[in-house]
Structure 1
Amino acid sequence: MHTFILKVQLLLILHTLGIKCLNTFKENTTLFVDNGDTFVFNCTCFSGNESAWKGPDGNDTVLTAYSTGRKINPYLNIPNIFIYGNYTIGKCHLEIANYSTVNDGIYECSYLLSGNLHIQRYNVFSKRPPKNLKIMEASENNAIYGKEGVRIELKCTVKTGIPASTLFLSKEGLTVSYGRSDILLYQFTPTRLDHMQNITCYALSELLTAPLSQTIYLDIQYGPSLKIIQQTNESNIEGESVKLCCHSNSNPNVHYIGWAMNSHELNSWRQRGRMKVDGTRKVFCLRLSPLYRNHTGNHTCIAENSIAKSNSSIAINVLYPPDVKVSYKISDERITLHCIPDGKPDSYTYYDWKHKSEFNEDIRTIHGTPEGQLIIKKSHSRKANEDDGIYVCTVFNGVPDLQGNFHQEGQTFIESIGKNYKPIEMYILLS
């Protein structure tokens, strides 16, 4: 056997001795073969001493001599290897019948041609599909757990096939990473929008009839996101009802949700004991019935889970009819009365003043200013008590009172004593 190996190595010895005149040409080819196939490699040869085949024999590093020319190594113990050819046409073929994984390796043909050394190397592998694909961080129920804003790294592994398969990671059908290796990484910072989304790792190979894959879902924890919806008429008129509903979205679900105004809690719900709260959404409503003017202000929904505490506010502006007061100022020349309404909205229409007797009998109607002022000039020719009586101011701001009246009144009483006047402010009357 040693003699045969020496003959096979003769080409390299010749190359060494003729180093000044010989050139070396190398060619590498990678091939993938189906198990059970018969495969033929071609090599140039014009005589037995100018070509040789070498190949694997259970050793990954050292190649074994297969033949010189068409003469096969008598010590070669590989039953499915055949060497044949024709020196006349310059071909020496190496045939592997019924190919299997034990035939994987490097096959090398060396030959001399026109004073140059040619080396043809074939890297041959049996085709194998990928297997054992797995997303490493997945739980038994195929979930990946994370928290909003905290970076996640996914690692998909596979026992890669031959030829190498291509790994893909897709999120809701959109490819986010890919590569031709046995490990594929994907890093991202999740938000609440990623909760319950699917991520799939799959391997594509020509040897697979369907992709090798695993799908997981994301379980992302996040604090409450709040949205307030007013479910009743938004006019917010005093005496009517208002329903405010706070819609919370969080994972895990909230263990507290409540309503407050000016830091004072109005109503709330708390998870008690081992009470289980499923899902991510909760709705908690506040009803203000009847609505009063002191409900004007910011109403705040507060919600809390194990991740964070959140709040959201809505401004309630209660509309109500004016309370009307009448002020006055007396001088030697005139009596000036001012109508002072207090309501929402604070845009008012003032009607003519009414002058009545102390017995509430109508005396006259007097036109005042658009700003609600009435000026009565004194006259020496008039009787001393002619201007005595009740003065009534009537105001409108478009909002009815609880009895449905749109016009609100305020009044005062003025009484003369000799040439002097004794004004008396009256209590507010609504009509």
Structure 2
Amino acid sequence: MHDEEKYIGAQHIVYFEKGESVVLVCNVSPNSWCTWDGPGVNGSEFRTYSDRTAIDQRLPNAHRLEIIGNISLGEYNLHISNVSSEDEGSYRCSVADRVAKETNVFLQMKVPPSNITVNGENRGVLYGQEGHQLDLNCSVESGIPEESIVWYNSSLLLGSGGPRTFIWSIVPKRYDHERTFTCIVNSSVLRVSLNKSIMLDIKYKPYTTISVKPTKLSRIEGTNGMICCEVQSNPPVGFTWLFKNNEKFEKGNVINNCFVFSSFNRNDSGNYTCLAENNIGRSSSSTELKILYPARVTVNYTLRHDYIDFTCNAAGEPNNYTYLPWVHESEFHKQIRLLNGTQSSTLHVQRTNIISKQYEDSGYYICCVSNGIPDINGKKVQKGMASVKFEGPPTFVLGNMKVQYGAYGNVARVWVQIYSNAELTSSTIRRSDGQNNITSYTEETRAIVYVVFHGVKVMVLGSRLMFDIHIKNDDDFTNYTVKVCNKKGCNNITLELRATKSNTKPMSVINSSWQILGSLFGGGLFISIFWNVYCFLKRTKNSGIHTIIPLEVQYDEIGDINFTSTNMQVLQNNSQESISSVNLPSLERTSNITSSLEKSSSSDSSEHSQSMSLLNEDGYEHPYQAIGLGNIEMHPYTTIWSNLYQNTTIFPNQIITNYDKEQNPWLIIYKK
């Protein structure tokens, strides 16, 4: 059963497929008394199906009938489910009000069309003759509802008709031979349309074409070729003739309807006709053979103040010419520009009004002409040319290096490339700051260079100028101006000369500079150290302080003591204070500190012995000897400067208050 339901109102015939549901719509006045009548048993007259909403249960299909819709709105729709051929027939919706109303619907099951045929046969070929009418007849067993029939020629729609049959008439031409025509049957019942194709077999008389081979107009004196008769016909032709000036032509060999000429000459000119015939008819084709030759082209020109006028002269057969755009080429035949002339073979070119660029108008001006005839090389376009030369100032070409390199003490060879179509009168180089004399070039050679002609990079024959510059100092690495002149004027270019990366400055100068700087720095450092040591020793001697380095700390382990001028000044001030007064309480505190240090030194005797063995293994010839702590006496005038010797340890055995000048000073050790 299909989910789709068909709602029927004003329609008179309703088509359905077996198994789907159908809804027959009946709209009446709200709350009207409505009845549905349907076909009776075995197609008899109407029989009541419903009285208002009640279905007559005596009907064999009562279980598939139902009144649906909103009765209060006047909707009395008859719903029939799982429709079959038994439900076919007329249905009527009636209302018995003041005015009787009824709606009639005929319910009919769909039937697909079948058995398509074309022209009553199924061989797939239909025969005809050119110019005679041919009917394309497509027939089918009709279905319900009625189908439509269309004819196609490939993808081209010819026409449509039906049902049952559709005839399309044509008058075939020769190009309809072996074409395929297709009949297509469409129906709403069909999921895939029916179709049948047929091919036409059309008989027609010969169609002839006469041509010259191997090329269409290969009629050049001295060349070989052939005149061919090409024939199309159905059925094939029985025979073919070639006529020259209405006389049968029998010259040469005949290969596949081609008459071969070993060498064309002027006597072969004439009117040739090809004739072919079959059982349908005959036809002919003619052409005129004329011996041809390509155009010979010459060019003349006239120089004017602002323009150059060119004239192109051509002579050939045929004498109808096609003038292509003129070509302006360089001396090496590089295309510079295309110029549009006139169909009367003239060209009007405006001259360049900038003096320094007038050379751009120089070169070859080429006229290109064709009369359709190739030369012996096979080229159909013939050329004639004229050479024009304009002199102007020298031009610096593309590829000049604005930055060049040299080395100290050597000769730098600076070069430039120029283009000049007049002889050079002078070539010089000088520093841009004007500090050197003008130097003439040392060498000139011819070179292939590139310049710009009317916006196009063009190869020309130019010159390379070489200049020698002696590099003596840094000032020689600067900008240089090269000036080149001929009889039409001068031009210049600025170059930059730089030192090579591998030789930016002479090594002797660099080594000398470093030696001088190193000597100055080393001498100054030595003097500074010597002076500081001298001053320190002198102040130490004046202040009565004697520094002795113990065995545990060799001289190479002494930390950095910064004898700056500030520290030396503090040392001097403290020395003066110590001389003026002796602070006895501080001496007592110092005695207590040293006593504790003496006790700790005895407990560390093992470490002291180990340090002694290490020092003896250093390789020194006379290592320091150990000093007994009991033999050290404190000088009475000795004091401690904590701000200078924060990392020192003082080893007096005891504070001796004896002022004997023979007493030994303290032992002061600086610790890292």
TM-score after normalising by structure 2: 0.36
Cα deviations by residue, 1:312-349 (Å, 9 ceiling, x for unpaired): 22333469xxxxxxxxxxxxxxxxxxxxxxxxx9xxxx
Distance in 1, Cα, partners of 2:46 & 2:64: 13
Pick from 71, 88, 112 the counterpart of residue 104 of structure 1.
88
- Residue from 175, 188, 195 that aligns with 1:213: 195
The correspondence for 2:274, drawn from 284, 301, 322, is 301
In structure 1, the partner of 2:39 is 55
The residue aligned with 2:420 is none
| 1:192, distance to aligned residue in structure 2 (A) | 1.3
Residue number among 286, 297, 301 corresponding to 2:259 in the alignment? 286
Deviations 1:80-135, CA, capped at 9 Å, x for gaps: 7646679975776645443223432221222223x111121112121233222222
Counterpart residue type for residue 278 of structure 2? N
Question: Is the counterpart of residue 245 in structure 1 residue 218 in structure 2?
Answer: no
Deviation at 1:36, TM superposition (A): 1.2
Question: Residue 314 of structure 1 corresponds to which residue in structure 2?
Answer: 287
> What secondary structure sits across from 1:266 in the alignment?
coil
* Contact 1:32–1:124 (Cα < 8 Å) also in 2: yes
SS in 1 for 2:12: strand
Partner residue in 1 for 2:111: 128
Give the Cα–Cα distance (whole angstroms) in 2 for the partners of residues 290 and 86 of structure 1. 98
Q: Which residue of structure 2 aligns with residue 190 of structure 1?
A: 172
1:91–1:266 Cα change, 3 Å? same
**SS state at 1:193 partner:** helix
Structure 2 CA distance for aligned equivalents of residues 266 and 154 of structure 1 = 47
Give the 3 Å change call, closer, same or farther, for CA 102–304 of structure 1 in structure 2: farther
- Per-residue CA deviations over 1:2-37 (Å, capped at 9, x if unaligned) read xxxxxxxxxxxxxxxxxxxxxxxx954332212012
Asked if structure 1 preserves the Cα contact closer than 8 Å seen for 2:136 and 2:167, the reply is yes
Number of the residue aligned with 1:116: 99
Give me the whole-angstrom Cα distance separating, in 1, the residues matched to 2:17 and 2:269: 81
Partners in 1 of 2:177 and 2:285 — Cα distance? Answer: 22
Q: Equivalents in 2 of 1:267, 1:181: separation in Å?
A: 64
Alignment of 1:29-108 (within 5 A): 29-43=12-26, 51-55=35-39, 57-59=41-43, 63-67=45-49, 69=51, 70=54, 72=56, 82=65, 94-108=78-92
Give the aligned partner of residue 393 of structure 1: none
Amino acid aligned to 1:55: P
Which stretches in structure 2 are left out of the alignment for 5+ residues? 1-8, 293-316, 318-672
Q: Among residues 163, 186, 193, which one is paired with 1:181 in the alignment?
A: 163
Q: Please give the alpha-carbon distance, in whole angstroms, between the structure 2 residues aligned to 1:38 and 1:143.
A: 46
CA gap of 1:252–1:104, structure 2 versus 1, over 3 A, is farther
Percent identity, aligned pairs only? 25
Alignment of 1:266 onto 2:250: yes
Unaligned runs of at least 5 residues, structure 1: 1-25, 269-281, 320-344, 346-431
Measured in 2, the distance between the counterparts of 1:86 and 1:299 equals 90
Q: Report the Cα offset of residue 248 of structure 1.
A: 0.6
Change (3 A) 1:209 1:93: closer
In 1, Cα distance between equivalents of 2:149 and 2:40: 31
Q: Deviations over 1:215-241 (max 9, x none)?
A: 11222111111111111573354x764
Structure 2 distance, partners of 1:67, 1:199, is 52
Name the aligned partner's letter for residue 234 of structure 1: S
Q: Please state how far the C-alpha of 1:210 moved relative to its aligned partner.
A: 2.5
- With over 3 angstroms needed to count, the CA separation of the structure-2 counterparts of 1:102 and 1:307, relative to structure 1, is farther
Offset at 1:170? 1.1
Q: Contact 1:138 / 1:216 at 8 angstroms: preserved in 2? A: no
For residue 131 of structure 2, what is the amino acid of its counterpart? G
Partner AA of 2:103 in structure 1: Q
- Partners of 1:247 and 1:283 within 8 A in 2: no
Q: Which residue of 2 aligns with 1:148?
A: 130
Residue type at the aligned position of 1:35: K
| Structure 2: distance between partners of 1:283 and 1:137 | 42
Aligned-residue offset at 1:213:
0.9
Structure 2 match to 1:363: none
Change (3 A) 1:290 1:193: same
- Alpha carbons of structure 1 residues 72 and 288: separation in structure 2 relative to 1, 3 Å: same
Number of residue pairs matched? 279
- The structure-2 alpha-carbon separation of the partners of 1:317 and 1:92, relative to structure 1 and needing over 3 Å to count, comes to closer
CA distance in structure 2 between the aligned counterparts of 1:100 and 1:67, rounded to whole angstroms: 17
- Residue 194 of structure 1 deviates from its aligned partner by 1.5
The answer to whether the 8 A contact 1:196-1:220 is kept is yes
TM-score scaled by length of structure 1: 0.54
Contact 2:210-2:273 at 8 Å conserved across structures:
no
* 1:138–1:67 Cα change, 3 Å: closer
SS at match of 2:175: helix
Q: State the Cα deviation string for residues 267-314 of structure 1 (Å, max 9, x = none).
A: 99xxxxxxxxxxxxx951112446676654333222112211111223
In 1, distance between residues paired with 2:63 and 2:241? 82
Aligned counterpart, 1:229: 211
Deviation (angstroms), 1:177: 0.5
Contact 1:226/1:311 (CA < 8 Å) preserved in 2?
yes
Question: Contact (CA 8 Å) 2:241, 2:248: kept in 1 or not?
Answer: no
Q: Give the structure 2 partner of residue 157 of structure 1.
A: 139
Distance 1:85 1:300, change over 3 A: closer
Q: CA deviation at 1:156?
A: 1.5
